[in-house]
Amino acid sequence: METNSLIWLLLIPLFLSLISFAARKLGRSTQLVVEVSHLISITVVLILSIIIVKDVLAYGSVFARNDWLRVDSLSAIFLFIIGLIGFLAGIYSIGYIRHDMESGEFDNNKLSTYYGLFSLFLFTMLLVVTSNNIIMMWVAVEATTLGSAFLVGIYGRHSSLEAAWKYVIICIVGVSFGLYGTILIYSDAVNVIRLPHAAVLWSEIVKNAMKLDPALLKMAFIFILVGFGTKAGLFPMHTWLPDAHSEAPSPISAILSAVLLNCALYIVLRFAIITNLGIGPEFTQTLFLIFGMISVAAAAFFMFVQRDIKRLLAYSSVENIGLIVLAFGLGGTAGIFAGLLQALNHSLVKALMFCTTGNILIKYRSRSLDQIKGMLQVIPLTSILLICGALALVGTPPFNIFISKFYIITTGIGGGYIWLMILCLFLLTVVFTTFFRVIGSAVFGEKPDGMVKGEFNWLTLIPVAILVVMIIVLGLYLPPQLETLLNGATEVTMTGHPAQELSSVNIWQDFSGLFQTKAFMAPFANWLQ
Amino acid sequence: MVSASFVNGLAGVLILTSLLVIVVKSPRWSVILYSLQSLVLVAIFLALAYFMNAEQLYLWAASAFITKVVLVPLILYRAMSRVGDIEISKNAVSPTIAIALAVVAVTISFIVIDQLTFRAAMPFKPALAVSMAHFFFGVLCILTQRSLYKQILGFCLMENGSHLTLALLAYNAPELVEIGIATDAVFGVVILVILANQIYRDLHTLDTAELSTLKG
């Protein structure tokens, strides 16, 4: 179905970004104008995202501008993440940045730059997931780096400028690899399809994937995985991530970690679909398993020795992205479904954790875990939210990540990857121990002398509380609309095109059936023998 | 055949100019050499346009001339005139090792491109290998050079490599694709230059070795 909502979804945040940039000249009214335009921007993005997702649920996919923009079930999941996290982190931003204004970290100039870049950043990420033109996808990913670089370095400190430089130079190199891979795919597609304007569209390339040159597909996918994998934070190309995520203002860390990494992963997945249809899934699955596993392993090690709370969370993002990629590597509908569910769940929890860390920073003025003690006495509400987030992050029931991690492990065992899953469980135990130790000492230790009890403001608590409710609900119940969307996205990933009737696909039921099948028990039986 | 030899020959000149961009110590001279190198790229676009009767490539040549030969070098040159032509005395590797690594990049690129069998790649395989090597030269420049400006030039070299690959394999791409890539490169350079100058203004250095407080 053709829809103008896609165009408005892109134009409104872009326009409001320009308003915020221009508002710096308004003197005393600057704060009011930029906060109102920011609020309109994030609200409109959330509402339009929900409308588009509803349309996708009804029609399978929607498109606009001669198919240059297209949203199917796969992109709808990522669009929903952008809309939701963008809104909640955006609300949190208002409270957090007000504190920066009060403390003198921000002036009117920085304020308008911050909100201008926030909306611009949202626009670029929306362009990534709505684009059907593979070159425009690349342009959009590149634009996310350029748009967010100044947000990372906005405090202008030595460490934040250093982080911004590393972020922009490493990601620009990485994404250039992505461009090279994209060009290789396009140039072969144009020889097959013969229509240059059609060959640039993902939906057309995927129809002709089987006719593409196998050697070129392999080469292009390696470029794409290395390139966009850099942006997604996969080990060993992750080096920019802990610096950028820890130095950025906390709401931006939340978006970088919960949304941007997924956007890069989304592009990898789009090209993996083409490659799988062209040469079979073994090649991409092997690469996914390798990169996923080493990312989880390296992140678990780095987390264990970490004493900076935001860097700890940044490495946790590397671990979770590794897990998602590992799930894709396990293959089949179950692996894809589990990976996509983990992507959604991780986004919610990581946004929650980074926002909570923002509250800690406001109070303790430090990220060092040696100085953050006695939170329960100082900021009790934030402490409870942090405990919920940490428990969710390590995969404890009844929180959402427990479900997706459980699916990943059971899918791996069901697929015969027993030793890999045992190693994975060991690494997840290391992560669990790390969080237990760190959060325990931060929450229950003795508070520093002279620390006054009290939260900063309700705007820094409400969005986090909403996220906690969501992660508990998703841990106990998967709403039918979300289930249908995940099933449809799995279908797109497996076949390259959306199912006509989204409700006809049901992988969720396959999961519940999995535990009763002999296929699930067989590897255990072999292993026990 | 003459056309392929001519284009492949020009691609060889491109390698030489890229190497000079990397090994020359003065960032200002590197910018001038980059502009010269982009001129060779424009010549390749013109040659391909003439020999293959591809009118779109004349447009590519014009946009590459404006963005790569004039605009990007001008942006870099003006930015440098604000901070001065600061040479970093020591780089991550010596020029000899940098050249040796460049030779390895060229060899690997020729081996990889040789594996390709699809029709569009056939006549210009050496030039295609050069374009890929050129891309890796950019990576090499970023990895081996400590000057922020030289790293920006590394990005420009990578971008030129990708652009040449696109021209060799899919010169009939929609104009918007070519414009998108060219514009994005200019934006990339502008953002990097602003950030480099901010780093120089606040931290008084253009040396990446002094940007190493964040570890672990």
Residue of A169, A204, A240, A368 to mutate, testing the B interface (most B Cβ within 10 Å of its Cβ): A169
Residue of A nearest to B213 (CA): A159
Query: What is the structure's pLDDT at B1?
Result: 56
Task: Name the DSSP class of A220.
Answer: H
| Contacting B residues, span 1-30, partner chain A, CB-CB under 8 Å | none
**A 116-135 residues inside an 8 A Cβ radius of B:** 135
Q: Which residue among B138, B170, B214 places its CB closest to the CB of A163?
A: B214
Nearest CA in chain B to A191: B120
Q: Where are the beta strands (DSSP E) in A256-382?
A: none
Quick check: A517 pLDDT over 50? no
The C-alpha atoms of residue A430 and residue B90 are separated, in whole angstroms, by 41
CB B138 within 8 A of CB B158: yes
Average pLDDT over residues B12-39: 90
B173 compared with A510, residue with greater pLDDT: B173
Cβ-based contacts under 8 A for chains A and B: 134
Residue B191 has its nearest CB partner, among A149, A213, A306, at A149
Question: What is the distance between the alpha carbons of residues A195 and B54, in angstroms, rounded to a whole number?
Answer: 15
Q: 122-141 in B: which are within 8 Å (CB) of A? A: 132, 135, 138-139
Is there a contact between B170 and A186 if contact means CB atoms under 8 Å apart? yes
| pLDDT tens by residue, A434-470 | 998 888 889 988 888 888 888 888 999 999 999 999 9
Partners of A305 on chain B (C-beta within 8 Å) are 216
B195:A149 CB<8 A: yes
* Span A51-109, pLDDT tens digits: 999 999 999 999 998 889 999 999 999 999 999 999 999 999 999 999 999 999 999 99
Q: Looking at the predicted structure, is the pLDDT value of residue A518 above 80?
A: no
Q: How far is B146 from chain A (nearest CA, A)?
A: 12
A521 pLDDT band (50/70/90 cuts)? very low
Single-letter residue type at A142: E
Q: How far is CA B37 from the centre of its chain?
A: 8
Whether residue B73 lies within 8 A of chain A, CB to CB, comes out as: no
Q: Which residue of B has its CA nearest to A314?
A: B216
Per-position b or e across B140-159, b if 16+ CB within 10 A of its CB:
bbbebbbbbbbbbbbbbbbb
- Chain B residues in contact with A139 (beta carbon < 8 A): 180-181, 184
Instruction: Determine which of B142, B150, B195, B203 to mutate to test the interface with A (most A C-beta atoms within 10 Å).
Output: B195
Averaged pLDDT of chain A: 92
- What is the mean pLDDT of the segment spanning A239-250? 95
Residue A322 near residue A295 (C-beta atoms within 8 A): yes
Query: Is residue A476 over pLDDT 50?
Result: yes
pLDDT value at residue A510? 55
Q: Are A162 and B213 in contact (CB under 8 A)?
A: yes
Select the residue from B48, B147, B168, B191 to test the A interface by mutation, using most A Cβ atoms within 10 A: B191
B195, A164: Cβ pair inside 8 Å? yes
Which domain does A307 fall in, by range? 5-528
| Mean pLDDT, residues A10-20 | 97
Residue among A158, A187, A306 whose CB faces B120 most closely = A187
Model pLDDT, residue A89? 98
Distance to chain B for A243, nearest Cα, Å: 7
**Distance (Å, whole) CA A180 – CA A187:** 11
Is residue A441 within 8 angstroms of chain B, CB to CB?
no
B135 to chain A: which residues are within 8 Å by CB? 176, 180
Q: Is the pLDDT of residue B208 over 60?
A: yes
Contact A166 B211 (CB under 8 A): yes
Tokens of residue A206, six digits: 């995927």
Q: How confident is the model at residue A345 (pLDDT cuts 50, 70, 90)?
A: very high
Taking CA atoms, A236 is separated from A169, A287, A339, in Å, by 16, 13, 20
Residue A528: per-residue pLDDT = 40
Tokens representing B61 are 């040549």
Question: Does the model's ipTM exceed the 0.95 cut?
Answer: no
| Phi and psi, residue A69, nearest 5° | -115, 130
The winner for highest mean pLDDT among A280-289, A492-501, B126-135 is: A280-289
Q: What are A428-441's pLDDT values in tens digits?
A: 999 999 998 888 88
Please tell me whether residue A131 adopts helix, strand or coil conformation: strand
Query: What value does the mean pLDDT take over residues A228-249?
Result: 95
Coil vs helix vs strand at B186? helix
Cβ distance of A162 and B213 shorter than 8 Å? yes
Longest Cα–Cα distance in chain A: 76
B181 CA to chain A: closest CA distance, Å? 7
Residue linked to tokens 């993996």: A272
**pLDDT exceeds 60 at position A337:** yes
Give the chain A residue nearest B215 (alpha carbons): A243
Chain A, 231 to 250: residues with Cβ < 8 Å from chain B are 242-243, 246-247
Contact B191, A146 (CB under 8 A): yes
Residue written as tokens 């921000």?
Answer: A106
What pLDDT score does A56 carry? 95
Whether the pLDDT of residue A522 is over 70: the answer is no
**Residue numbers in A near B144 (CB within 8 A):** none
Q: Which of A172, A187, A311 sits opposite B155 (nearest CB)?
A: A172
Q: Quick one: average pLDDT of A185-204?
A: 90
Token output for B35: 């502009």
pLDDT at B138 over 70: yes
Mean pLDDT, to the nearest integer, of A336-356?
97
Cβ contact, residue pair A159, B213, below 8 Å: yes
Most confident of A271-280, B13-22, B73-82: A271-280
- Closest CB to A188 among B118, B191, B202: B118
B186 vs A: CB within 8 A: no
Counted domains in chain A: 1
How confident is residue B25, by pLDDT bands cut at 50, 70 and 90? confident
Between residues 190 and 229 of chain A, which touch chain B (CB distance below 8 Å)?
A: 190-191, 196-197, 199-200, 213, 215-216, 219
* pLDDT interval class at B2 (50, 70, 90): low
Three-state secondary-structure class, residue A446 = coil
Determine the distance from the C-alpha atom of residue A165 to the mean position of all C-alpha atoms in its chain, rounded to a whole number: 22
Q: Which residues contact A198 (CB under 8 A, 6 or more apart)?
A: A204
Name the residue of chain A whose CA is nearest to B201's CA. Answer: A156
Predicted pLDDT at A245: 95
Q: Rounded distance, CA A426 to CA A431, Å?
A: 9
B166 in contact with chain A, both atoms CB, cutoff 8 A? yes
- A165 closest CB neighbour out of B116, B161, B195: B195
Considering only CB atoms, B155 lies closest to which of A173, A196, A306, namely A173
